[in-house]
A and B are shown apart, each in its own frame.
Chain A
């Protein structure tokens, strides 16, 4: 079986949202001598990128996206285990949540799925999260990035509290902070001193890639 056939099969497994198939093709490909990083870069990553594109076009939906992200995680675990120590594709750890007072979390859930699909270790705190919880979780898991969502014009101000709390704790420089959600803009991110603004889930991945040098 040619390498290209394994790549095609990998993409199909992600499109089928099938974790078992994804780990199986990864295992077989590695046994056949395909380089693990090639398998990721040429098979699984294009597969998940395609899923993201189909999601934005309204052709696949949230349950499929979440399952595809899970399949991707399974495949990435197999490939990363075969790479030399330290050469794995594991990216930064991200702590993410919807700020206190806001219970809207559909958009944030999509961002989490996109980030996981792209190899990030994501700790999703959920919704209505107080500033100190963002920080304590980030400290606990050794995160590099804190992501905050807020849908409403009123609750987006809570994002400022998290930044203030980071400053007060002397931890602001330790984390890259990214904001998003319905009413947020780049202008808002600049105004409150966040490191980045994400327009949507794809943009969130792109910006966190930039922030973390991936």
Chain B
């Protein structure tokens, strides 16, 4: 949100928190976020079989946050 949308920190945290239906405070709570990331399937630190990884997770994040991620767009362009 900062790098591509120039949002200052409070605005960026609020945007992401609203989209994820959590509080901005929760974004730094590793317990909340670990569970949420698993539930939303948007990528985990640990290697869990079957869960979205890399670009797959990024595509899901782009949808969830309603943002454009160039690498995801490039992938879509490659698909038949």
Complex: A in contact with B (CB within 8 Å)? no
The residues of A with any CB-CB pair to B shorter than 8 Å are none
